[in-house]
Amino acid sequence: MTHRGSRVLRVGSLARVEGEGALHLRVHNGRVEEARLQIYEPPRFFEAFLRGRSYTEPPDITARVCGICPVAYQMSACQAIEDACGVTVDRPIRDLRRLLYCGEWIESHALHIYLLHAPDFLGCDSAVDLARTDRTAVQRGLRLKQAGNALLTQLGGRAIHPVNVRLGGFHRTPTSAELRPLAEQLRRAAEDARKTVRWVAGFDFPDAVVDADFLALASPSTYAIEGGTPTRLRADGTLTTFPLPSFLDHVREAQVPHSTALHSRLDGRRHLTGPLARYAISGNLLSPAALEAAREAGLGPECRNPYRSVLVRAVEVVYAVDEALRIIDAYEPPPRPYVDVPPVEATGHGATEAPRGLLYHRYRLDAEGTVTDAQLVPPTAQNQGAIEDDLVRSVQTAITDHDASDHELTHLCERLIRNHDPCISCATHFLDLTVERT
Partner 1 sequence: MTAPTLAVFKLASCDGCQLTLLDCEDELLALAEKVEIAHFPEASSALRPGPYDLALVEGSVTTPADAERVQEIRAQSRFLVTIGACATAGGIQALRNFSDVEEFTRTVYARPDYIDTLATSTPVSAHVDVDFELRGCPIDRGQLLEVITAFLAGRKPDVPNHSVCFECKRRGTVCVTVAHGTPCLGPVTHAGCGAICPAYGRGCYGCFGPSGSVNLPALIPLLHRDGMDDRDTERFLRTFNAAAFAKERQP
Helix, strand or coil, per DSSP, at residue 2: coil
Nearest to 395 by CA among 383, 411, 382, 377: 411
CA distances from 25 to 14, 212, 392, 396, 405 (A): 15, 20, 8, 11, 13
Contact between residue 62 and residue 50 where contact means Cβ atoms under 8 Å apart: yes
Question: Which stretch in 88-96, 153-161, 231-239, 382-390 sits in contact with partner 1 by CB under 8 A?
Answer: 153-161
Per CB under 8 A, does 100 bind partner 1? no
- Count of residues near partner 1 by CB under 8 A: 68
Shortest Å, Cβ 337 to partner 1:
8
Contacting residue, 112, 145, 194, 362, with partner 1 by CB under 8 A: 145
Backbone angles phi, psi at 28, to 5 degrees: -125, 125
Contact between residue 184 and residue 147 where contact means Cβ atoms under 8 Å apart: no
Nearest to 309 by CA among 123, 121, 134, 149: 121
What interhelical angle do 406-419 and 379-402 show, nearest 10? 150
Shortest Å, Cβ 258 to partner 1:
8
Site string for partner 1, 262-301 (x = CB under 8 A): x---------------------------------------
Residue number, 143 or 234, with CB nearest to partner 1: 143
Per CB under 8 A, does 198 bind partner 1? no
Per CB under 8 A, does 43 bind partner 1? yes
Residue number, 267 or 373, with CB nearest to partner 1: 373
- Rounded to an integer, what distance in angstroms lies between the CA atom of residue 323 and that of residue 426? 27
Per CB under 8 A, does 366 bind partner 1? no
Interface with partner 1 in residues 231-250 (CB under 8 A)? none
CA distances from 301 to 225, 261, 278, 298 (A): 19, 32, 11, 10
Per CB under 8 A, does 429 bind partner 1? yes
Question: Which stretch in 85-93, 161-169, 221-229, 267-275 sits in contact with partner 1 by CB under 8 A?
Answer: 161-169
Question: Which stretch in 63-71, 77-85, 95-103, 342-350 sits in contact with partner 1 by CB under 8 A?
Answer: 63-71
Residue 37: CB atoms within 10 Å: 29
The pairing of beta strand 31-39 with beta strand 346-354? unpaired
* DSSP codes of every residue in 68-83: SSHHHHHHHHHHHHHH
What is the amino acid identity at position 309? S
Shortest Å, Cβ 292 to partner 1:
27
Shortest Å, Cβ 23 to partner 1:
14
DSSP 174: P
Residue number, 68 or 210, with CB nearest to partner 1: 68
Residue number, 16 or 270, with CB nearest to partner 1: 16
Per CB under 8 A, does 131 bind partner 1? yes
For 315, the enclosing helix (H) or strand (E) is: helix 309-330
Per CB under 8 A, does 115 bind partner 1? yes
Per CB under 8 A, does 51 bind partner 1? yes
Residues within the interface to partner 1 (CB under 8 A) = 12-20, 41-49, 51, 53-54, 57, 60-61, 64-68, 70, 111, 115-116, 119, 125-129, 131, 135, 138-139, 142-143, 145-146, 149, 157-161, 163-164, 166, 171-172, 254-255, 257, 260, 262, 337, 414, 425, 429-430
